[in-house]
Chains A and B, each alone.
Chain A
Amino acid sequence: MRVEDEPGWLLHARPYRETSLLLEGLSREHGRIGLVARGARREKTRQPRALLQPLVPLSLAWSGHGELVALTAVEARGQPPLLQGTALLCAMYVNELTLRLSPRHDAIPEVFDAYELALQRLADHPECAWTLRRYERDLLAETGYGLVCDSEADRGEPIDPAQDYIYIPEHGAVVYAGQANVLRLRGSALLALAADAMPDSEDLASLRRLMRALIGHQLGGGSLRSWSMLAGNLPAR
């Protein structure tokens, strides 16, 4: 199969054999794909090394079948989002999250659009946390594990912003009734997520815990490596 001029991004690139790169790409029409860029690490190469890295909008061409296909051409597709500092770390998290949650060869154009929107938001706004929550919400929804944030799971009652709830993965929000060791959050946090309106910092923090629990559940109890990186666990901080 040959694919030409496919809009895409690279989520990850690592050295492969002597001069090649093993790439993990996200494309709009073909979903997540594994690519080999042969000879890309040679000094003189047809595929410019500056392009073959994450967070650069690309136009990709490849050929082949199966798990790994061969990258045949790569071109820049516009300016890369200007990501610096914390936004850059957040974008790396977005890459890891996308890689872990989106299945290979499963084309979900909505995931691609949400991904591009998230990177643009990270570049434009200093408030990274809310951008990440929105992307996590959209990614979970598009990969089939959407949250129900505006009504209770059992009774179908609308969520009360002042009420405390617990959120049970693959079930939904249930009124908090004094249970121990549960993920408890205010109704206003859930409603903010449903309405796509930025909540206050307390709700934002509880949404972060909620999303981590849901993603962890999705990964079968695993965790993302970026979490430890983003958690501000720099030495002596």
Chain B
Amino acid sequence: MSGSVLLAELIDALRCLPGVGAKSAQRMAFHVLERDRPGALRLADRLAAAVERIGNCRRCRSFSENELCSFCANPLRDKSVLCVVESPVDQSAVETATGFRGLYFVLLGRLSPLDGMGPRELGLDLLAERLRGGEVAELIVATNPTVEGEATAHLLSQLARDAGVRATRLAHGVPLGGELEFIDRGTLAHAFGSRQTLT
């Protein structure tokens, strides 16, 4: 180990990233110092700017450096369909996989009283206000198929019903390319229960 205090601090700081332990952090630090100082400067600059300037969109709560995120500000997107997801990562997954052209609402969590996440923390008052606004015709509930996700979905469906908005839920079942033999019971039971007519 070299005698540089700064280097030790850099290695320690890098460990705040997911998947980065002591060894990887050391490798990253040596890499940027030996081979890519401009890249490191750019990273430091963007990192500082992002942390400083990125907040939450006023309408959908997703990450955005402006008051409205690029989805909410885009006039071409369909305002009548609103997809509710748990996190910005889920939002990006839906966006890349589905060709969905509506708008999103990001809960930044899921209902979990033991973790201190209640309706207020999930911004449900903001969502209720939006549903009452009359622009939304369908609320797509895309929370995860976990216990907490289902409970959240229940609250969302109540909100939608109160506002007279149709609520739909993502289907869950057998993954494409999967084999029934290896699928857990719960998923299989669910898929079996919500089977569809072949046309």
- Spell out A's residues near B (CB within 8 Å): 12, 14, 18, 48, 50-51, 53-56, 76, 79-80, 84-86, 88-89, 92-93, 95-96, 99, 224-226, 228-229, 233-237
B38 at the A interface (CB under 8 A): no
Q: In the complex, which residues of chain B have a beta carbon less than 8 angstroms from the beta carbon of A235? A: 119, 124-125, 127-129, 159
Given contacts A18-B19, A88-B154, contact A225 B184 (CB under 8 A): no
Partner pick for A225 among B113, B132, B146, B150, CB 8 A cutoff: B113
- Write 26 A-B pairs (CB below 8 A) sorted by A numbering: A18-B18, A48-B184, A50-B187, A76-B184, A76-B185, A76-B186, A79-B189, A84-B154, A88-B150, A89-B151, A89-B155, A92-B111, A92-B147, A92-B151, A96-B113, A99-B114, A225-B114, A229-B113, A229-B119, A234-B124, A234-B128, A234-B155, A235-B119, A235-B125, A235-B129, A237-B158
CB distance from B117 to the nearest CB of A (A): 9
CB distance from A17 to the nearest CB of B (A): 10
Closest to A99 in B: B114
Closest to B189 in A: A79
Given contacts A54-B147, A79-B189, A237-B162, contact A92 B113 (CB under 8 A): yes
B115 at the A interface (CB under 8 A): yes
Partner pick for B118 among A79, A93, A229, CB 8 A cutoff: A229
State in angstroms the CA–CA spacing of A107 and B196 once bound together: 45
CB distance from B109 to the nearest CB of A (A): 12
- Spell out B's residues near A (CB within 8 Å): 18-19, 111-116, 118-119, 124-125, 127-129, 132, 146-148, 150-151, 154-155, 158-159, 162, 184-187, 189
State in angstroms the CA–CA spacing of A226 and B115 once bound together: 10
CB distance from A207 to the nearest CB of B (A): 21
State in angstroms the CA–CA spacing of A96 and B114 once bound together: 6
Q: In the complex, which residues of chain B have a beta carbon less than 8 angstroms from the beta carbon of A50? A: 184, 186-187
Given contacts A51-B184, A88-B154, A235-B159, contact A229 B111 (CB under 8 A): yes
CB distance from B172 to the nearest CB of A (A): 10
State in angstroms the CA–CA spacing of A50 and B147 once bound together: 10
State in angstroms the CA–CA spacing of A236 and B158 once bound together: 11
Q: In the complex, which residues of chain B have a beta carbon less than 8 angstroms from the beta carbon of A89? A: 151, 154-155
Partner pick for B146 among A12, A53, A99, A236, CB 8 A cutoff: A53
Given contacts A48-B184, A92-B147, A234-B159, contact A85 B154 (CB under 8 A): yes
Closest to A12 in B: B114
Q: In the complex, which residues of chain A have a beta carbon less than 8 angstroms from the beta carbon of B151? A: 88-89, 92
State in angstroms the CA–CA spacing of A53 and B144 once bound together: 12
Q: Determine if A93 and B113 form an interchain contact, defined as CB atoms under 8 angstroms apart.
A: yes
Q: Determine if B114 and A56 form an interchain contact, defined as CB atoms under 8 angstroms apart.
A: no
State in angstroms the CA–CA spacing of A115 and B110 once bound together: 24
CB distance from A20 to the nearest CB of B (A): 13
State in angstroms the CA–CA spacing of A51 and B124 once bound together: 29
Given contacts A228-B118, A229-B119, contact A80 B186 (CB under 8 A): yes
State in angstroms the CA–CA spacing of A99 and B112 once bound together: 14
Q: Determine if A224 and B147 form an interchain contact, defined as CB atoms under 8 angstroms apart.
A: no
Q: Determine if A233 and B119 form an interchain contact, defined as CB atoms under 8 angstroms apart.
A: yes
CB distance from B192 to the nearest CB of A (A): 12
